Structure 1
Amino acid sequence: MEHPEWNAKAYSPGLTNEDLAPTTPAQRKWGAFSIFNVWTSDVHSLWGYYLAASLFLLCGSFLNFVLAIGIGSLVIYLLMTLVGLAGARTGVPYPVLARASFGVWGANFPAIVRAIVACFWYGAQTAAASGAIVALLTRSPDMMAFHKDVHFLGHSGLEVICYVVVWALQLLIIQRGMETVRRFQDWAGPGVWLAMLVLAIGLVVKAGGFSFTSGIPQDVLLEKTKDAGVPGTPGSLTSLLAVAAVWITYFAALYLNFCDFTRYAKDERAVKQGNLWGLPVNLLLFSLVAGVTTIAAFKVYGEVLIHPDQISARFDSWLLAAIAALTFCVATLGINVVANFVSAAFDISNTFPRAISFNRGGYIAALIALVLYPFAPWEGSAAGFVGAIGSTMGPLFGIIMVDYYLVARGRIHVDDLYREHGRYRYQGGWHVKALVAAGVGILFSTVLPNFSNLLPAWWGLYGWFFGVAIGGGAYWALRMLPEVAADEITRSA
């Protein structure tokens, strides 16, 4: 696709390609419904359900769950609106927006960090989607025998085959670009809502009714949450604070690259409306359905089942089990494309724009996820995995938001984001102050809590928040120091 406005400008070839260029008016087709469905695609997945159900166990009651998830969802809405409006106003993707803070070459650092995180999440979501297919196929005795008897790469042969098939299917979705992504998510997100409701209603009916005051016994909750890495007993204040923190951190990746989507929005109003319905409203409703399903499944089967594929695998009807498994699989493909493939594609493309297009960047990310599969770093505690992955991105978000809203006051010179010798050149294309602030933030958000005993055990749960505060605060403090470099003086002029 040609971009007449882009071709007419004297942009540096090493900083631009057709995918990274600012969106034109003709490309801005995403209304509030499409923005809303970014969130239905992002939330309505097997991992999203698994996390919501896991956090439900830590809350101890429905009221606590509503309070913790509700407050967390409002915070998510406010943060996503901040970064979303930046994308709508500038029309640039995340790695290009980061150039304003980190420099035209320095932005490759936050871009690669986000790309690596996307590769981990890409593998985790693909494994979850393929797990739903495995649960369905093992209803057959022959498939169950194959699943138990054949193993390689640290997994059963059936798991490996399903992972590779689901991995390959995702590549078909993105071959035709972002408009195809929009069309896919516009039906995939609502589709899983229907499957979730059918699952919840079916279980409630089978359980003989439902009561918000009749949940899972405390001794069962204690047993199921003892290895979650969350302080306090289920329902305690410390546990509820941790639930809200983990729920907010779960979206850490999209806080950075939500502008990859809002750059296609028709206007700021579409972003605000789509976020309102897609985040606090949709998040809370989805979480409530996950909670209802978890309680009903406990009443029906006598055990805690927090994976929806575990529940659907127990259906008496093979047809219903197949519909449920395929729907959850498609929904998880939706979040993988939206939250992980798109971001990694733009981020990797940003490193070598002349050689790597959007599609090529995505293929590289998919290959990395394939290589990660034998090691399965995403297996284990949901809260622990989310915290470890999310904390890395806190400082980057803090720096970019401080720069955009407090330093630049929302005024970005878009043309200079694509010029090697423009106002965002800083020190040879690298903004040392931003890189130093990011290093300090990552030290306290990720390195010390995960690789030392110098900080309290609970610190890691709030790593993303410490990263935002320390990284953003350090950047603000450094920017308040006297400007000494000529490039800095040029920018502030």
Structure 2
Amino acid sequence: MTVSNATIPNASPSLYNEDLAPAKERNWGPFSIFNVWTSDVHSLWGYYLAASLFLLCGSFFNFIIAIGAGSLIIFFLMNMVGIAGVRTGVPFPVLARASFGIWGANFPALVRAIVACFWYGAQTAAASGAIVALLVRSEGMLSFHQNVHFLGHSGLEVICFFVVWALQLLIIQKGMETVRRFQDWAGPAVWVMMLILAIYLCVKAGGFSFTSEIPMDVLLEKTRDAGVPGEPGSIASLMAVAAIWVTYFSALYLNFCDFSRYSPDERSVRVGNLWGLPVNLMLFSLVAGVTTIAAYEVYGEVLLHPDQISAKFDSWFLALLAALTFAVATLGINVVANFVSPAFDFSNVFPKHIDFKKGGYIAALIALVLYPFAPWEGSAAVFVGMIGATMGPIFGVMMVDYYMIRKGLLNVDALYQENGEFRFQNGWHVKALIAAGIGIVFSSILPNFTNWLPSWWGVYGWFFGVAIAGVIYYGLRAADVRPVPKPA
């Protein structure tokens, strides 16, 4: 699709390129929006987190309550940012200009891009791990895996990581339409494999069970480093599970408009979100819980990673099918959550020099550089909470600005004009930056780098960030005299 900047009066070349322009071609119906979520959720990390949270709940009933509550919150929040995308047709960094200023929007854009680079590396490492688990069935590969090491990993892990990393670059060659086509089959394919995995283990376990047979001492051992208050099954633990589940999607609360902007209407977004979020999230989480229980009954140990389970399969064919499916699933989430966003985010910094593809390449390169340090290794709950809390304040500022300050109406043309409504203080909106900065201090910096706050604070860091930044921003803007904006 080619869009001329003639459609935006007085558009500045420093703020505009074809990829950042308002979407004109809108063919992402409910099924494509649904598959944004199947691609995002159905990954090795998604399964790993769901299985980890299941242990914190202690029983299936508790798990359904906690995950169900979290999923409904996610549905509501995604509709908020998704509808903004439909109405304006702009990607996340351009939407951020309305609250942070035409140049200040680069701050939230780069924060989101850096987070995406971390997640890109984490998901790529998970996908390559599934391939490694398959290859080490061969004695020769196992020997190579055990005896050759560099960059802090085995030689086999490094090779598999690089191969998976490179494959993902091929998907973005044709732009967003290729992304849509890829996710439309990748997400459902993972569902099929997850069901096969669950059925296989249930058959080996001798039946299907919603009753957890995992002893409490094992649950305590497996969850002691999760940073979650209370023992598994307690009220405090269940509240933390819901909070962590909500925080897991913190990055996409910001940039879901990167996808919803291609939808023809708000109904398509709501219907796609309904099936893709509360319905799909609950079913996926249930399958993860059933699989975790069955794997414990079959193998006598708690296996949270799907590749750990598939590595124990007697059937080489099933192990191959599982490894390939999980690799494809992780490619799907990386493209949706961790490639598209930084591609737009980096493009927003230098629109004249960086387009969608170049922005994606930059993100992939940063993830590759991070690989030797593997900052994503450790507890799933801790990693999700720490990396997600940073983005809460940005979301709070943007949503307060769009819905409470501007009442859902935005002058889209001015988002691309250097001397328009969103210039604020020389292109930077100081009030938004102050509100977001204070929010980040309380959501991420203090709970992760000091002992000044209660130990449970970090679990709810994203929520505190949204609330603190949103309230401060609204207070700072409340006295402003605002002209009535021109509807999009």
Structure-1 residue corresponding to 2:12 = 12
CA contact (8 A) 1:6 1:22 kept: no
Q: CA deviation at 1:2?
A: 1.9
Equivalence for 1:466: 464
Aligned length: 486
d(CA) in 1 for partners of 2:6, 2:196: 48
2:397 counterpart letter in structure 1: I
User: Which whole-Å deviations, capped at 9, do the CAs of 1:158-196 have from their partners, x for residues lacking one?
Assistant: 000000000000000011100000000000000000000
Cα deviation, residue 41, structure 1? 0.1
Contact 2:85–2:91 (Cα < 8 Å) also in 1: yes
Corresponding position of 1:243: 241
Q: Distance in 1 between matches of 2:111 and 2:223?
A: 31
- 2:265 aligns with 267
1:163-174 alignment, distance < 5 Å: 163-174=161-172
Structure 2: tracts of 5 or more residues without a match: none
Counterpart residue type for residue 430 of structure 1? W
TM-score (norm 1): 0.97
SS of residue in 1 equivalent to 2:426:
coil
Show the counterpart of 1:187: 185
Find the aligned partners of 2:438 and 2:153 in 1 and give their Cα distance. Answer: 38
1:175 is paired with a residue whose SS is helix
Aligned to 1:117: 115
Give the superposition deviation at 1:6: 4.6
Q: Is 1:13–1:354's contact at 8 Å kept on the other side of the alignment?
A: yes
Equivalent residue of 2:2, what SS?
Answer: coil
Distance between the aligned counterparts of 2:359 and 2:385, measured in 1? 26
Q: Tell me how far 1:482 sits from its aligned partner.
A: 4.8
1:315 to 313, 316, 328: 313
Given candidates 354, 357, 365, the residue that maps to 2:355 is: 357
CA distance in 1, matches of 2:180, 2:108: 25
- How far off its partner does 1:490 sit? 9.8
Q: Is the 8 A contact 1:423 1:490 kept in 2?
A: no
- 8 A Cα contact 1:57 1:221, kept in partner: yes
- The residue aligned with 1:200 is 198
Tell me the residue number matched to 1:230. Answer: 228
Return 5+ residue gaps in structure 1 as ranges: none
SS at match of 2:428: coil
Work out whether residues 392 and 443 of structure 2, in 8 Å CA contact, stay in contact via their aligned partners in 1. yes
Letter in 1 for 2:165: W
* Structure 2 residue matching 1:13: 3-state secondary structure: coil
3-state SS in 1 of match to 2:479: coil
Q: 2:413 aligns with which of 412, 415, 422?
A: 415
Counterpart position of 2:22: 22
Report the counterpart of residue 154 of structure 2 in structure 1.
156
| 1:100 CA displacement | 0.3
Comparing 217-226 with 397-406, greater Cα deviation is found at: 217-226
Taking structure 2 as the reference length, the TM-score comes to 0.98
The amino acid across from 2:298 in the alignment is V
Say whether the 8 Å CA contact 1:84–1:262 is kept in structure 2.
Answer: yes
Aligned 8 A contact 2:56 2:232 in 1: yes
How far apart are residue 211 of structure 1 and its match?
2.3
Q: Is residue 405 of structure 2 the alignment partner of residue 403 of structure 1?
A: no
User: Structure 1 residues 112 and 5 mapped into 2: Cα distance closer, same or farther (>3 Å)?
Assistant: closer
1:54 is matched with which residue?
Answer: 52
Cross-structure match for 2:329 = 331
CA distance in 2, matches of 1:175, 1:219: 50
Letter in 2 for 1:82: M
Shift of 1:8: 6.1
Superposed CA deviations along residues 48-88 of structure 1, whole A, max 9, x for unmatched, are 00000000000000000000000000000000000000001
Q: Are 1:104 and 1:417, in contact at CA under 8 Å, matched by a contact in 2?
A: yes
RMSD between superposed Cα atoms in Å? 1.2
* Percent identity over paired residues: 75
Return the letter of the residue paired with 1:205. V
CA drift at 1:4: 4.3
Partner of 1:445: 443
8 Å CA contact 1:423–1:491 kept in 2: the answer is: no
- State the alpha-carbon separation in 2 of the partners of residues 133 and 473 from structure 1: 47
Alpha-carbon contact 2:8-2:416 (below 8 Å) kept: no
Moved over 3 A (4+): 4-9, 488-492
The aligned amino acid for 1:343 is: S
Residue 9 (structure 1) shift: 3.2
Deviation at 1:289, TM superposition (A): 0.0
> Is the 8 Å Cα contact of residues 411 and 485 (structure 2) preserved in structure 1?
no
Who is 2:70 aligned against? 72
> Displacement of 1:14 after TM fit?
0.3
